[in-house]
Structure 1
Amino acid sequence: MHIQFDNSYARLPDRFYARVDPTPAAAPALVRLNRALAEQLGLDAEELATPQGVALLAGNQVPKGADPIALAYAGHQFGHFVPQLGDGRANLLGEVVGQDGVRRDIQLKGSGPTPFSRRGDGRAALGPVLREYLISEAMAGLGIPTTRALAAVTTGETVWRETRLPGAVLTRVAASHIRVGTFQYLAARGDQDDVRRLADYAIARHYPDAARGPDPYRAFLDQVVARQAALVAQWLLVGFIHGVMNTDNCSVSGETIDYGPCAFMDGYDPATVFSSIDHQGRYAYGNQPRIALWNLTRLAECLLPLLDNNEDAAKQSLQGFAPHFEATYFGGLRRKIGLSGEPEGDDNLTQDLLKLMAADGADFTQTFRRLCDAADSPAADAAVRFRDGAGYDAWARRWRVRLAREVDPGAAMRAVNPAVIARNHVVEAALTAAVERADFGPFETLLDVLSQPYRDDPALEQYARPPRHEERVRQTFCGT
């Protein structure tokens, strides 16, 4: 197959990675190919669907021009620093420049052991591969910056976790795989030249405007802070919980990366945790902004020598997190209830609504979507009203006074409040069908539904409704 690779990261010093080829799979078979994304990348989707293309997607064939590497990085995992992590089950095949002129990584995840595997098998199980495919594409449908899934293939092999599971490989596409942990890996070795080299590379690839200013490293930190603040705010606005916000899972490009025990919240509660390994709630829904800033502080520490050890400059960059987060988050909340501009009192309306929702355990997604109808007619209040009916009615009277100043607020609200999200119980049902019965029909259908999350369609009610009590998913698990 012909793929026009241009592998800029592999031209950095070999300390940044290990050269290693993928491990061939026994009997690869295509589960899903993201044809639209392939075309965006300038790849031939028809070729990728052939046996030769599937061999590439499984790691059985390294295409001409690829330069497979496993990236080195470190990271704080649940607050504890690990000086060497790295791609223990992934190969960056190379980079392509898409039809839009944007450079992107093409990585195989689950493609076999690397020097960073730490005694792991380097493989991935089918369930986690399909989970990342579903959730990353759901995030893309919601308009949230994210890595993407190009393909999923089964390997014809068994992997062992708690039990025997079918193996699979995910082909992931990312703006890059440079993490806060990548900077930590180099900084921990005391090599300021390498930290500078990585910063120069990241600036050239992601923030070229920063290079044109008088202080490019300060500008770089400013812009990473701004993107991360906006990203986490967007997570909160759709009820998303990443679940494992370690510094090695924090991309400097501003994309959501590494979908392990992630989940979408059903009933609104800022303390919601799904990850089975987050015993203390460090990465709970409401903690995510604080943790994002904590991670960015670790990046600032790495960059401090490039800032002439000017701690005040680093602190000023970090202080930019709050205004960027608040602008995206509070602006988004106002739009979710149909309000434009920033008149005094609007934020009180949003916060009072969230308090009512928290007290009731109201479904986050459904409440905001039903408010779209209530914006059109008070008759729709009955579908929104919480157990504290008097509290809702008092809030709704205030809301409608303010709403009278808007033009067609219901339509505006439907554009920002999804009708469907990747509901945990629906995701788990699709994964169970695929893993236990080799039935990929529910997975395919769910992907199609999540590609248009803002549409109204009564036929999709089973995807829009909250889980019944017996359907609730209370824990999610990391694929490793």
Structure 2
Amino acid sequence: MNGLGIPTTRSLAVIGIRELIYRQKPELAAILVRVADCHIRFGSFEFFHYTKQPKSVERLADFSIEHYHNDIYNEPDRYRIFFRRVLTLTAKLISKWQSVGFVHGVMNTDNMTITGTTFDYGPYGFMDGFNSRYTPNSSDTHGRYAYQQQAEIGFWNLNKLAETLIPLVSADELQEETKQYQSLLNGFYREEMGRKLGLSILDSEFSELTQEMLQLLQSQQLDYSNFFRHLANNPSAMDCSIELRSWLDHYLKLCDRESISHDERKKKMNAVNPKYILRNHLVQRALEMALKESDFSEVTRLRILLENPFKDRPEIFKKYNIDADFYSQDTPQEFLGRQTSCSA
């Protein structure tokens, strides 16, 4: 996520333990050492709220503002502004997830921070073929955290945070703030998709183009990430169906409205559309080599690729025996839609 330029907590280390834990099946235990700009969750406020400790909610809010939003500390309506900022950061985060096809898998209030990042990278995944109903979490049988639900779940979580702040901000004022969420998220998402498509005129025709594209990606099960790379390289030469060709004609028409060359657009698009993503079958391959053979070379290769997922680095790739074509290809058919569990 950091390589993609998306706000995130980070993993400092994974420490293996030679004992078994039991989830769906026996597995070796491990401890993840996490680093983050902030460990205060929406759920931190909920804990004090549901245990009827309003003074602790206030102290936590004051601490959060002092350390993470210090410029508003002396404002008379600082709690409302604080909530507005958390809402805005959350909308921006989820818009970025949606734009890269990332599905978190377990978006409860304990995994959302007040600085617009997330915890608990467990049953997550990047979409292969576009599927708005995709959930990477094998235990999410009702699709609560599916791709198409993430914006709504973000809204749900923010409302839960708002409930805890009612002693500090009136319910009406908080409701006014939450009403802004969808339009904020839509705006952020439109900007992200504009960058992905190399377009800067983000009018109603652009929105129509984007919706048509997502429908085609789903109906034709095209690889989400690679679609944008192919589109950047040579859209006129793409081998595609009649329906997609019609969409491409529409896309090229919108490109013609803007005064930049194809080469310039390609450069901009390839700077925001990753060539390499963390596909589940690649993760599984790395895990099996590490666990069964104590061979961490595949983990190293993935780390190098994902540090900068937008471009090739021939000298480094040669040093670590990285086959660019292998790691950038569409997910093989037999691995499409694979799910993981909370013990992933």
TM-score category of the 2 structures, normalised to the smaller one: over 0.9
Moved more, 280-289 or 170-179: 170-179
Displacement of 1:182 after TM fit?
0.6
SS at 1:305 equivalent: coil
Aligned to 2:339: 475
When the two structures are superposed, what TM-score results if normalisation uses the length of structure 1?
0.67
Aligned equivalents of 1:141, 1:239: Cα separation in 2: 15
Alignment deviations for residues 244-274 of structure 1 (CA, whole Å, 9 cap, x no partner):
1111111111112111101111111111112
Q: Which residue identity is paired with 1:423?
A: R
Aligned to 1:228: 90
Aligned equivalents of 2:22, 2:253: Cα separation in 1: 59
Displacement of 1:230 after TM fit?
0.4
Aligned to 1:326: 186
Aligned equivalents of 1:361, 1:406: Cα separation in 2: 32
SS at 2:234 equivalent: helix
Alignment deviations for residues 213-263 of structure 1 (CA, whole Å, 9 cap, x no partner):
330000010000000000011001111010011111111111121111011
**Aligned partners of 2:11 and 2:33 also within 8 Å:** yes
Aligned to 1:313: 173
When the two structures are superposed, what TM-score results if normalisation uses the length of structure 2?
0.92
**Aligned partners of 1:272 and 1:285 also within 8 Å:** yes
Aligned equivalents of 1:289, 1:344: Cα separation in 2: 21
Moved more, 284-293 or 343-352: 343-352
Q: Which residue identity is paired with 2:253?
A: V
Aligned to 2:304: 448
Aligned equivalents of 2:207, 2:163: Cα separation in 1: 34
Q: Which has the larger radius of gyration?
A: 1
User: What does 1:172-187 correspond to in 2, within 5 Å?
Assistant: 172-187=34-49
Structure 1 vs Structure 2: percent identity of aligned residues? 37
User: What does 1:121-270 correspond to in 2, within 5 Å?
Assistant: 139-270=1-132
Displacement of 1:325 after TM fit?
0.7
Whether 1:364 and 2:224 are equivalent positions in the alignment is yes
SS at 1:142 equivalent: coil
Q: Which residue identity is paired with 1:346?
A: F
Aligned equivalents of 1:466, 1:393: Cα separation in 2: 20
Q: Which residue identity is paired with 2:254?
A: R
Alignment deviations for residues 270-299 of structure 1 (CA, whole Å, 9 cap, x no partner):
111121111100000010000000000000
Q: Which residue identity is paired with 1:216?
A: R
Aligned equivalents of 1:265, 1:439: Cα separation in 2: 27
**Aligned partners of 1:187 and 1:302 also within 8 Å:** yes
Aligned to 1:391: 243
Displacement of 1:162 after TM fit?
4.4
Q: Where do 5+ consecutive residues of structure 1 fail to align? A: 1-138
Q: Which residue identity is paired with 2:194?
A: R
SS at 1:168 equivalent: strand
Q: Which residue identity is paired with 1:452?
A: N
Aligned counterpart for 1:342 among listed residues 202, 205, 217: 202
Aligned equivalents of 1:213, 1:465: Cα separation in 2: 52
Which structure carries more helix by proportion? 2
Distance verdict in 2 for CA 1:247–1:441, change over 3 Å:
same
Distance verdict in 2 for CA 1:193–1:460, change over 3 Å:
same
User: What does 1:285-324 correspond to in 2, within 5 Å?
Assistant: 285-307=147-169, 310-324=170-184
Alignment deviations for residues 167-204 of structure 1 (CA, whole Å, 9 cap, x no partner):
32222101121111110100012111100000011111
Q: Which residue identity is paired with 2:231?
A: L
SS at 2:167 equivalent: helix
Aligned equivalents of 1:412, 1:237: Cα separation in 2: 15
SS at 2:43 equivalent: helix
Aligned equivalents of 2:191, 2:277: Cα separation in 1: 21
Which structure carries more strand by proportion? 1
Q: Which residue identity is paired with 2:72?
A: A
Aligned equivalents of 2:341, 2:7: Cα separation in 1: 23
**Aligned partners of 2:127 and 2:337 also within 8 Å:** no
**Aligned partners of 1:423 and 1:466 also within 8 Å:** no
